[in-house]
Structure 1
């Protein structure tokens, strides 16, 4: 057994790795990461109106606790998109997780260890084969990029790797107009780039030390977009492919659903739904689930917080498909609020990336544990024995809170009933 002083010498930045909240994970990530890397995690588009509302909206909702009648055990397990999960928090797909050398593999291992679903991005820094090999129940996320033959090839590869479902993101964009300036994302990380960025990276020796132990530089390529036998494109190469692909129609959504059904037969989820009419069209197109999401405030600024849109959408289609929510969740009570308003589960993005930056796989597990503890505490206070018992009656929601966007014509509504 190594003496403590020797372990400290080998890693002079070692500290108590445990943290009690997502907020602490974020602060540790801020201290550890170079400014451009941390900036890429927290940035939103334009003035940042949507990213701010994603979190602020949760604070507008109150709870209605009981003083007596709490139950001694609370059941948080649920089933979503055909998968049994230990509690209703899923990993949202996010691109290029170079905040830690193990990237998406560490996140997948954490998801498997905590009994939840791993979402893997098209733009991930680790291959779908590496991620599914962890044993995590993985959903592969695709953008509408490339021609149809290329999309079918990527679907087939994901299915062959053993994924449990497909998540389609069709309205993604990369904002070029952030009021405070966009964080720099280099084409690739090589020695020349490291020298140029040295003034920003050098102060973060702990982060450099992590990568130095592996002998590898941060990888900004997208291996899941590599053609058979070919080379993985860079992030900007993948972005160029997206920019030059004509945007999809609802007929294209139906085609994508049908192709995935023939290839895999597992659930097809559409991410980024904000409007009731789009949710109804998604059901008509054959999707198995939707994620009410504004992509973390990185798309069209001014889009309402996801929590404001989830109840109207769940009220219209939640009896037909699984409706989940993605955006602004930072604590277990946020999860409970979303569930009470009709979400089957929620997805987290920035929260687990901060945990990953703070302490790798263990940091992601720590974030999931903190959220689970918060869910349990809220259920206890509400005297609720199961997440399935939650309803709007457990909340204090101010007038005008819900944003019912894109209400369809009455004739269409009648046809759906």
Structure 2
């Protein structure tokens, strides 16, 4: 068996920690402020139990589902993550891996690989955009996505605040110029496998974001685009509806944690929502996304596709989310650890690990399909669910 193969996401994380420079790894595990939401995203899954059967299980299980009109071989999607400096192939490797395993690729606007290159590897790519710049700039990005063949958009609104971290934010340079290379040289030299990966390509980690402009235009730096986002007034619900109408196709709103917001998303013409707190990187003390999922799925799950993002590390986590009303989960940190360890094959490894865990849990629960899963398959402790935004006092 290959020495790069791993049996669990936890092993992938340990190997990624050894391989990556401290600053790069720190950016992957970071959460805002004290990290309460970051921790709860994972802890909450452990509070849910299973109610298995001992006989009569299906010999073959169907793990497929559908999200935003796209057929998925398993209920796991790639969540968009910007600036994937863990491996020189970055988002292109992730696109190849997700295509090979029959699922959707979410590509960040803050990615370092062009949209067109990613779609060439996985035609079922969703471009994630932030509400950044004026409407003309937003239309420019939408039209680029349309021309490139993106099958949908993800409007991310769960990254709305700038917070420090109690343990310190990882140091990320504005650009990888000579000064930055000298500053980070001690970290790179002490992690030779990561460094050699980039050396073989004769490229240094790229911190420009080409998907924020039209092809051929000079790409801004990550922090240049971040600055534009910070100076852009947040969108209203009318703005969300305008964007959905401009696109005219499948569009996900990422960051919904409240029932009233979920209902407003339906009214605005959104076709899918991600119950998400940006992996604990937004407003700390927000509950785990899995706690908010059941109330949201019950309220709008028959009108809109509901997926979950946050804290997924095992196939059993995926099954718990689907049993509570999600069509699928979006995977973030876990696939980046696989990417760091072994590039495309590492991402495929992570997806295979999750698939095996999903299949085992579905078997144990006596189901023949993930679409048969329900809350009856779980042991849900009293007070687990957080039904946010149900008071009837929705904001205008």
User: TM-score with structure 2 length normalisation?
Assistant: 0.98
SS at match of 1:133: helix
The one-character-per-residue Cα deviations of 1:95-149 (angstroms, maximum 9, x if unpaired) are: 1111100000000000000000000001001010000011341000000001101
For 1:6, the equivalent position in structure 2 comes to: none
* C-alpha contact 1:144 1:247 (8 A) present in aligned 2: yes
Give 2:133's aligned residue.
Answer: 146
Contact 1:46–1:175 at 8 Å: present in 2 too? no
**Contact 1:290 1:324 survives alignment (8 Å):** yes
2:258 aligned partner: 275
CA distance in 2, matches of 1:313, 1:384: 24
Q: 2:244 aligns with which of 216, 239, 257?
A: 257
Which whole-Å deviations, capped at 9, do the CAs of 1:156-187 have from their partners, x for residues lacking one? Answer: 00111111000001241464410000001101
Give the 5 Å matches for 1:17-416.
17-173=4-160, 175-227=162-214, 229-261=216-248, 266-409=249-392
C-alpha deviations, 1:176-201, integer Å up to 9, x for none? 41000000110111232111112222
Query: Are the counterparts in 2 of residues 276 and 408 from structure 1 also a CA contact under 8 Å?
Result: no
CA distance in 2, matches of 1:181, 1:363: 29
Q: CA deviation at 1:229?
A: 3.9
Q: Deviations over 1:32-78 (max 9, x none)?
A: 00000000000000000000000000000000111111111000011
Cα contact 1:110–1:361 (8 A) shared by 2: yes
Cα distance in 2 for residues equivalent to 1:197 and 1:83: 42
**Higher CA-based Rg:** 1
Decide whether the 8 Å contact of 2:107 with 2:128 is kept in 1.
yes
Give the unaligned 5+ runs of structure 2.
none
Give the deviation of 1:409 after TM superposition.
2.5
Q: How has the CA–CA distance of structure 1 residues 80 and 203 changed in structure 2, closer, same or farther, with 3 Å as cutoff? A: same
The CA distance in 2 between the partners of 1:62 and 1:176, in whole Å, is: 34
Q: Deviations over 1:222-246 (max 9, x none)?
A: 0001246421000110011001111
Partner SS state of residue 197, structure 1: helix
2:59 alignment partner, SS class:
coil
Describe the SS at the equivalent of 2:106. Answer: strand
TM-score, normalised to structure 1's length?
Answer: 0.93
**Equivalent residues of 2:98, 2:122 under 8 A apart:** no
Root-mean-square deviation (Å): 1.5
Give the distance between the partners of 1:245 and 1:133, measured in 2 at CA: 31
Q: 1:88 to 1:72 in 2, by over 3 A?
A: same
Which shifted more, 132-141 or 41-50? Answer: 132-141
Return closer, same or farther for 1:386/1:171 CA change in 2, 3 Å cut-off.
closer
Q: Deviations over 1:320-357 (max 9, x none)?
A: 00000000000000000000000011000000000000
SS of residue in 2 equivalent to 1:337: helix
Deviation at 1:408, TM superposition (A): 4.7
In the aligned structure 1, how far is the partner of 2:159 from the partner of 2:65? Answer: 29
* Count of residue pairs brought into register by the alignment: 395
Supply the distance in 2 between the matched residues of 1:174 and 1:134 (Cα, whole angstroms).
33
CA positional deviation for 1:410: 9.5
Are 1:331 and 1:371, in contact at CA under 8 Å, matched by a contact in 2?
yes
- Looking at structure 2, the residues matched to 291 and 212 of structure 1 have their Cα atoms a distance apart, in angstroms, of 37
Asked if the contact 1:190–1:217 (Cα under 8 Å) also holds between the matched residues in 2, the reply is: no
Asked if the contact 1:86–1:114 (Cα under 8 Å) also holds between the matched residues in 2, the reply is yes
Structure 1: gaps spanning 5 or more residues: 1-13, 413-417
